C-alpha cells in the first residue's frame, strides 16, 4: 500500500460514513434508537461504535492505548457522534498526510481494549479500520431495511465514480 492508496481508502471510508450518518439524520429519535437485530441494538449505537472504533485506532497510531470507549460512544447523541467523527477524520487525515510510504510498513505497538499487548504494521491497521467500518455500515444498512427504509449505497465503486 502507498500513502496515496491509504488516503484514497480513508477518503472512501469518510464518504461512506457520511452517507450513513445522512441517512440516520432523517430518522426520528424513536427509529434511531429502535431495537433492531444486529451486533448493536440500534442504528445509533452501531454508528457510535463505528466512530468510537475509529477514535480508538487513531489514538493507537498516535502512541496511546485507550482501555475503553469514551462516554459519547456509550451514551450517544447522533449530532455529537457525527461531530466527533468529523474531528477524528480531520486529525487522522493530518496524521496520514505526514506519512511516507515507508511509514506504512512500520510496526505500531499498542494494547487491546482488554489490555493485551499487540503490534501490527500501520498499513494493515489503516486497511483494518476501513474494513471494520464497512462491516458495521453493512449492519446499519440491514437495520435501516428492517425499519422499512432504503439505505444509501456505500459501494467503493460508487465513491470512485462520484470522485471523477
Which pLDDT tens digit goes with each residue over 109-139? 999 999 999 999 999 999 999 999 999 999 9
Q: Predicted confidence band at 13 (pLDDT cuts at 50, 70, 90)?
A: very high
Percent of the chain predicted with pLDDT > 70: 100
Least confident of 15-19, 37-41, 72-76, 104-108: 37-41
Buried b (16+ CB within 10 A) or exposed e, 34-61: bebebebebbbbbbbbbbbbbbbbbbbb
What's the pLDDT score for residue 72?
97
Asked whether residue 164 carries a pLDDT value surpassing 90, the answer given is no
Count of domains for the chain? 1
The CATH number of whichever domain residue 109 belongs to comes to 1.20.120.450
The x, y and z cell numbers of residue 7, run together, are 488516503
Residues in the chain: 164
What's the pLDDT score for residue 19?
98
d(C-alpha 96, C-alpha 84), whole Å:
18
Backbone angles phi, psi at 109, to 5 degrees: -95, 140
Radius of gyration of the chain (CA): 16
Asked whether residue 45 carries a pLDDT value surpassing 90, the answer given is yes
What's the pLDDT score for residue 159?
97
* Contact between residue 146 and residue 31 where contact means Cβ atoms under 8 Å apart: no
**pTM of this prediction?**
0.96
Percent of the chain predicted with pLDDT > 90: 98
Asked whether residue 37 carries a pLDDT value surpassing 90, the answer given is no
* Contact between residue 107 and residue 14 where contact means Cβ atoms under 8 Å apart: no
What's the pLDDT score for residue 112?
96
Instruction: Give the model confidence (pLDDT) of 47-80 as tens digits.
Output: 999 999 999 999 999 999 999 999 999 999 999 9
Q: Is 34 helix (H, G, I), strand (E, B) or coil?
A: coil
The x, y and z cell numbers of residue 67, run together, are 482501555
Domain range for residue 55?
A: 3-163
Average pLDDT, the chain: 97
The x, y and z cell numbers of residue 79, run together, are 449530532
Amino acid at each position: 500500500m502507498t500513502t496515496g492508496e491509504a488516503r484514497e481508502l480513508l477518503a472512501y471510508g469518510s464518504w461512506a460514513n457520511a452517507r450513513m450518518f445522512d441517512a440516520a439524520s432523517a430518522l426520528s429519535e424513536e427509529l434511531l434508537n429502535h431495537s433492531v437485530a444486529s451486533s448493536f441494538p440500534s442504528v445509533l449505537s452501531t454508528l457510535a461504535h463505528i466512530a468510537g472504533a475509529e477514535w480508538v485506532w487513531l489514538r493507537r497510531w498516535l502512541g496511546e492505548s485507550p482501555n475503553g470507549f469514551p462516554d459519547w460512544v456509550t451514551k450517544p447523541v447522533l449530532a455529537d457522534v457525527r461531530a466527533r467523527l468529523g474531528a477524528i477524520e480531520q486529525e487522522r487525515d493530518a496524521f496520514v498526510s505526514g506519512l511516507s510510504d515507508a511509514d506504512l510498513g512500520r510496526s505500531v505497538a499498542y494494547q487491546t481494549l482488554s489490555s493485551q499487548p499487540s503490534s501490527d504494521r500501520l498499513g494493515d491497521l489503516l486497511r483494518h479500520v476501513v474494513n471494520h467500518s464497512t462491516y458495521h455500515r453493512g449492519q446499519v444498512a440491514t437495520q435501516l431495511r428492517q425499519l422499512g427504509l432504503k439505505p444509501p449505497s456505500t459501494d467503493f465503486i460508487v465513491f470512485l465514480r462520484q470522485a471523477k
